[in-house]
Amino acid sequence: MDHSDVVIVGGGAAGLTVAALLKKHRRAWRISVVEPSATHYYQPGFTIVGGGAFTMAQASRPTRSLMPRGVNWVRSRAARIDPAAMRVHTDDGRELACHHLVVCPGLVNELARVEGLAEALGRDGVTSNYVVESVPYTWQMIDAWRGGRAVFTQPPLPFKCPGAPQKIAYLAADRWRRRGLLERSELHFYTAAAAMFGIPEFARALDKVVQRYGIRAHFAHNLVAVDARRRVATFEHAVGEQKQRVEQEYELLHVSPPESPPAFLRDSQLVNAAGFVEVDHARLQHPRFAHVFALGDACSAPNSKTAAAVRKQAPQLVANLLAHADGRELTGAYDGYGSCPLTTSLSTVMLAEFVYGGKITPTFRMDPFAERRLWWLGKRYGLPALYWQMLRGLEFDIAHAPDKARQFLPA
């Protein structure tokens, strides 16, 4: 049996960041990261890869090159977690014991929940920036476009990066506008939500972007089937307590599939009824198993599931884990911060920043509802650089606060 001071389940953005921070503060500790993937992807970049402004080579690095020095990489999948015994079992038969456990395996795409999607994806006009193998195909379809009907979908929450399903619609529309193809194109955005964004002020600002491109927005529509032979997408439209089926033909269909925590986690004692790891929303500590902490997409904190959230969560979680190990009071408090750089064109971004409760909390004293080239440069160049440094344990922060947005909000 392998014994560690800390076992981290998941070596994505959250797991690697926590491992780097822990190793920085506790060099003598044995830290193990359970992660099967040989390649780490900068997933926030997938939207602009699909839009033709970034490449998969720029959005990927070998996992080995990112694993902190001195950390034990367990290149396997977690198969079972026993939080009472503090054991993690892997799919290749290993048993890992630990004093503290950090759970951050991310979410998995549930293609099977949309009839016909798995078979259709990656060919005949059906693509998704949420599926690694399909991301380059998104750009192939947009680049080869000569006109027709393009359909973009968004599933019910929770899923990773809630702004991404509409971002690619704006990038495609702007690309086609520049090529004189927008007038030959009919664009549809189908979302299970009731508005373009969960925060009303940003929803109103994005409504103007939708109108500018002539995108037809369909609310309360959830994708349930794809018929690749007929090139027809079927949606369930909620009208009160009734649900109606709506068919939509397409030449291009970009799907954001439903997502969920992995099965081994849903079957554990750690999760709530929805399958997410229960945590105190500020401390990120499990309410019943005090030696267990969680962050990232698979934890139950009601924040936007983004890399920006991980950047704020990781230092607070590490501070609390170290305090617990030392017998001190836990003082680290995550406030729910999330950031969504909404790419509204190939040269502009609207930067949405917020904390728990949807309170708008910008980092800079600038109108958060304005589309700016500055934020596009940040999205294209600054944020990728910051991300790779975050994985190496960079601790850098600029305070965000609601007072910075107050003058731009409606009275």
Say yes or no: 317 and 246 in one domain: no
Burial code (b: 16+ CB inside 10 Å, e: under 16) for 113-127 equals bbebbbebbbeebbb
Say yes or no: 152 and 194 in one domain: yes
Domain boundary among 236, 259, 282: 259
Element at 343 (helix H, strand E)? strand 338-343
Say yes or no: 232 and 251 in one domain: yes
What lies within 8 Å, CB to CB, of 116 at 6+ separation is 225, 226, 227, 228
Q: What is the mean pLDDT of residues 290-306?
A: 96
Predicted pLDDT of residue 16: 98
Say yes or no: 227 and 364 in one domain: no
Say yes or no: 49 and 149 in one domain: no
CATH of the domain at 31: 3.50.50.60
Which amino acids are annotated catalytic? 161, 340
Q: 241 is written with which tokens? A: 């307590």
Residue 387, domain member (yes or no)? no
How many domains is the chain partitioned into structurally? 3
Say yes or no: 88 and 213 in one domain: no
163-186 confidence digits (pLDDT tens): 999 999 999 999 999 999 999 999
Domain range for 354 is: 338-381+398-408
Q: Report the 10 Å Cβ neighbour count for 194.
A: 10
Say yes or no: 311 and 196 in one domain: no
Q: Hey, which bits of 35-167 come out as E strands?
A: 39-41, 60-62, 72-74, 78-82, 87-90, 95-103, 108-109, 126-127, 148-154
The whole model's pTM is what? 0.95
Confidence of residue 1 (pLDDT cuts 50, 70, 90): confident
Say yes or no: 198 and 300 in one domain: no
Say yes or no: 215 and 344 in one domain: no
Q: How many whole angstroms separate alpha carbon 156 and alpha carbon 6? A: 34
Domain boundary among 226, 259, 292: 259
341-397 confidence digits (pLDDT tens): 999 999 999 999 999 999 999 998 889 999 999 999 999 999 999 999 999 998 877
Is the pLDDT reported for residue 225 higher than 90?
yes
Say yes or no: 144 and 233 in one domain: yes
Say yes or no: 8 and 78 in one domain: yes
Q: 271 is written with which tokens? A: 């999760």
Domain boundary among 227, 259, 291: 259
97-146 confidence digits (pLDDT tens): 999 999 999 999 999 999 999 999 999 999 999 999 999 999 999 999 99
Say yes or no: 113 and 233 in one domain: yes
